[in-house]
Structure 1
Amino acid sequence: MTVQNTMTGGRNLRLLAILSALIGFASISTDLYLPAMPTMARALNAGLGATEWTVSGYLVGFCIGQLIWGPVGDRYGRRVPVACGIALFVVGSAACALSPTIWAVIGARVVQALGASAGVVLGRAMIRDLYAGPQAAAMMSTLMTVMAVAPLIGPLLGGQILLIGGWRVIFWCLAGFGILMLAALITLPETLPPRRRQSIGLGEALGRYVALLKHRRILAYTGAGGFFYAGMFAYIAGSPFAYIDYHGLPAQHYGWLFGLNILGIMGANLINARLVHRYGVDAMLKAGIVLAAVSALGVAIASITDFGGLAGLVVTLFFYAAAAGFVIANSITGAMEIVPERSGAVSALVGALQYGSGIFSSLLVGLFADGTPRPMGAIVLVTAIAALLSVMALGRGGHDGV
C-alpha cells in the first residue's frame, strides 16, 4: 500500500503544507530579504554588484547541494536527509545575520543554500514517489500555487521587518522558520520505502549524472527550464535596484510589485494543473516558453528605452514571471518521467543545472550594474531566446507521462 493511499483528510492537507514549505525554501530564502538589498549595500559599505552577488552565492550552494542530496535521498530515504539540510539552513541563516561584511554574507548564503536545497530537491522527489505522469505535474503545480503565498508576502513582510528591526532581523526570522520546519518534519511520512532505494554509493551516484546528461530529452527539459530560471534570477537580482534606486520606489512598497508577479505565477499554475491532463506536459511547457519569450522582449524594451517608466517594466515582468507557472513544473516533471526509478537524482540534476544558470545571470547583472534596469532587461531577453531554442529540441508530440 502506498503512502498516497493511506493519507486522507487532515493528513493529506498536512502533507501538502509541509511539501509546499520544503519546495518553497529557495524562494523564501531570497524573497524575504530582497527589499533589504539596497540597505545592506549601504550598511556594509558594499557596491551594488557585490550585494547582488549574495544571490549568486546562494545559487552556488544550491546547485552543489542538490547534486549531493539527490543521490543521498535515493539511497537513505527522504526524511533524514531533509532534516540534516534544514539544520544546515538554520546555521547558515544565523551566520548571515551575524556577518560583518558583504563577503561574509555571501559565504553564509552558500551554507544557507546547501541546507535549503535538501528540502527542495527531495520535496520534488517525494511528489514523484507518490504520483506519476500528468498527475505529478498537476500536483507540482498545485504545490507551487500553495507555496506561492510565501514569496507573495515575503517581500512585503521583509520590507516591514526592515523598517522595524533592520536587515539582520530578516535572517534571524529565516533561522526561526527553519526551526519550525524541523518540528513539522516529525509528522512527515517516509515516502521512499527501503525496497525502492538505490544501493549504490554516493560516488557512483554522482558519476551517473554524466549518463543522464547524455539523454537528449533530459537536456531539452533542463535547457528550457534552466535558461528560463536564468532570466528569473536576473529579474530577482536586478529588480530591487531597478524599482527602488532607479525608479524611486520606497523599499517597503517593493513587495507589492513583486507580489503582483507571484499572483501571475499562481494563476498560471492553476491553469496548468487543469490543462496538463488534456494537452500533456510538453505542450504546456512549450506554451509557457513562448509566453516567456514574447514577454521578455517587452521587458528588454521597457528596460533599455524606459518606455512606460516603472509601469512599463512592471507590466512586462508580470507576464514574464507568470510563464513560470507553465515552465517550472512541466520541465521538472518531464525530465523525471524519463527515468522514474532515479527521480531523486534527476530532480537534483535538473534543479542544479536550472539554478546553476541563475548563478551566471545574477553575476552578469552585478558585473554590468550601471544603476539602470538595462543589464537586467538584456539578460532576460537573451535567456528567453535560449529557452525557446531548447524547448524546440523536444520536437513534436506531447509527453503524456505514461
Structure 2
Amino acid sequence: MESRSASLPFTVLLGVLFALTALGTDAWLPALPVAAAALDAPVAGMQLTVTTYFLGLAGGQLLWGPLSDRHGRKPVLVAGLALALVASAVCAAADTTAALVLARLAQGFGMSAGPVVARTIVRDLHGHEQAARLLARMTIVFSVIPIAAPLAGGLMLALGGWRAVFWLLGAVPALLLAAVALRFAETAPQERASAHPAQIVRSFAAIVAEPKFLAPYSAMLCAQVGIFAFVSNSAFVLVRGLGVAPGAFAALFALAMVGQIAGAWLSSRLVMRAGMARLLRAGIFLALASGAAAAAAAWAGLAHPAAVVAPFAAYLFGTALVIPNATALALQPFPRAAGAASSLMGAAQFAVGAVVSTLLGALFDGSARPMATAAAAAGLGAYLIERRFLRGPR
C-alpha cells in the first residue's frame, strides 16, 4: 500500500481527481465574456454559471463522501464521473443562459466526487505528515491543471467557440472514468459506516464539534476565499477592466498559478522536517501580506495586469502551504468517517465559493478593488483564526 501510494501514476491520478473541480472553472473562464455576448447575457447572469457550478460542487460533496464510507471509493467515483460526462454534453448543447446555468449545476454535482474521494483515499492510506506530503504532491498536479486548463479552454474557444470548451470538460471525466474502472483498487476500510440519513447527520455533527477538525479547516476556508475571488473574477478584471485579450488572460492566469505550484512543491519537500503546523503558519502569514498588497495596489489605482497578477501569485504560493497541511490536520481524527469529513470540507468550501463569486459579480466595477479587498479580508481572517486557535504544539 505504501509503494502504491507513493507511485507517480497513483499520485497523478489522485491529483487530477483532486483538480477536477478546478478544471470546470478554469477552462471555462476564458469563454465567459464570449459566451455572455453570444447568449446576450449580463455579467451577473453569466456569473451564475460559476455560482451554480460551485453550488453543485457543494451539494455533491455532501452526498459522495458518506456514500463512499458505506459503499467504497470506487463505485462513488464511477457514478460521479459518469454524471459529469453527461452534464458536460448538456452544457455544450445549451441554447439559453438558463439551460446552461442548470446544466452547470449538474456538472458540478458530478465533478465533486473527484476531490472528496481523493482526499478520503489519502486518509485511508496515511496519517500526519505522510498525508500532508501526499496532499502537497497532489496539489502540484492540481496546480498544473489550472495552468493548462485556461490555455486549453482558450484554444478550444478559438477552434470551436464557447461550446467547444464543454467538449473538453466531457473528455476529461471520460478518460478518468476509464482509468478508475480499469486500474483503481479499493482503499476503504472493511468495516463500513452506515449511509442512513440520521447516521450521516450524526456523523456531520460530531465532525463539526471536533476542535481538531474545525480550527485548521476554518483557517484554510478563510484563506481559500481569496482563491475563489481570483478564480471567479479575474477574467472580468483583466479582460473587461484592463483590456487584456482572452488569450493573454489565459497566460496571465497560468503565470499566477505558478505560485501555487512552487508553494506545493516546497510544502512536499519540507513537511517531514518542518512539520505541518509551522508550514501552515507561514502560508497564512504570506496570504495575509500578499492579500494586503493586492488591496493596496487596487485602491491606489494601479491599473496594470502586473499589479493584479503578482500579488495573487504570492497569495497562491501561501495557500499552497496552507491547504495540504490544514487538510491533513483536519482529517486526522476520522479514520472511519473520512468520507463524511471530506464531504463537509468540500461542501463548505464550495458553498463559500458560490457566495464569493455571486457577490463579486454584483460588485464588479471594472477594477480589481472588490476582488483584492476580498483577498485581504480572507488573509486577515485566516491569520486571526491561526493566532487564536492554532498556536502552540500540535
Name the TM-score, length of structure 2 as normaliser.
Answer: 0.95
Of residues 148, 153, 159, the one that matches 1:164 is 159
Q: Compute the displacement of 1:370 (Å).
A: 1.9
Q: Distance in 1 between matches of 2:282 and 2:97?
A: 40
Letter in 1 for 2:207: L
Query: Which residue is equivalent to 1:62?
Result: 57
Native 8 Å contact 1:71 1:202 kept in 2: no
CA deviations 1:55-114 (Å, max 9, x no partner) are 211111111111111111111110001100001111221121111222222211111111
Letter in 2 for 1:50: G
Asked if residue 25 in structure 1 is aligned to residue 20 in structure 2, the reply is yes
Native 8 Å contact 1:229 1:355 kept in 2: no
Q: Compute the displacement of 1:36 (Å).
A: 0.7
Letter in 2 for 1:191: T
Q: Distance in 2 between matches of 1:125 and 1:53?
A: 29
Q: Please show how residues 209-224 of structure 1 align to structure 2 within 5 Å.
A: 209-224=204-219
Of residues 283, 290, 309, the one that matches 1:295 is 290
Q: Compute the displacement of 1:306 (Å).
A: 2.3
Q: Please show how residues 105-184 of structure 1 align to structure 2 within 5 Å.
A: 105-184=100-179
Q: Compute the displacement of 1:21 (Å).
A: 1.4
Q: Compute the displacement of 1:158 (Å).
A: 1.0
Q: Compute the displacement of 1:331 (Å).
A: 1.5
Letter in 2 for 1:182: L
Asked if residue 357 in structure 1 is aligned to residue 352 in structure 2, the reply is yes
Asked if residue 269 in structure 1 is aligned to residue 260 in structure 2, the reply is no
CA deviations 1:234-279 (Å, max 9, x no partner) are 1111100111111111101112111112211111111111221222
Query: Which residue is equivalent to 1:346?
Result: 341
Q: Compute the displacement of 1:202 (Å).
A: 4.0
SS at match of 1:341: coil
Asked if residue 188 in structure 1 is aligned to residue 184 in structure 2, the reply is yes
Native 8 Å contact 1:284 1:330 kept in 2: yes
Q: Distance in 1 between matches of 2:351 and 2:369?
A: 22
Total equivalences in the alignment: 393
Query: Which residue is equivalent to 1:313?
Result: 308
Q: Compute the displacement of 1:339 (Å).
A: 2.4
Of residues 345, 353, 373, the one that matches 2:368 is 373
Native 8 Å contact 2:242 2:303 kept in 1: no
Asked if residue 231 in structure 1 is aligned to residue 229 in structure 2, the reply is no
SS at match of 2:40: coil
SS at match of 2:131: helix
Name the % identity. 34
Q: Compute the displacement of 1:341 (Å).
A: 2.7
SS at match of 1:323: helix
Query: Which residue is equivalent to 1:79?
Result: 74
Provide structure 1 residue ranges, at least 5 long, that are not aligned to the other structure.
none
SS at match of 1:146: helix
SS at match of 1:340: coil
CA deviations 1:19-65 (Å, max 9, x no partner) are 11111101111111111111111111111122222221111111111
Q: Distance in 1 between matches of 2:196 and 2:78?
A: 20
SS at match of 1:164: helix
Q: Compute the displacement of 1:200 (Å).
A: 5.0
SS at match of 1:393: helix
SS at match of 2:332: helix
Q: Give structure 1 regions of 4+ aligned residues with deviation exceeding 4 angstroms.
A: none
Query: Which residue is equivalent to 1:4?
Result: 2
**Cα distance, 1:8–1:69 mapped onto 2, change above 3 Å:** closer
Provide structure 2 residue ranges, at least 5 long, that are not aligned to the other structure.
none
Name the TM-score, length of structure 1 as normaliser.
Answer: 0.94
Q: Distance in 2 between matches of 1:295 and 1:173?
A: 33
CA deviations 1:276-333 (Å, max 9, x no partner) are 1222222211211110011001111222222262211111111012112111111211
Q: Compute the displacement of 1:218 (Å).
A: 1.8
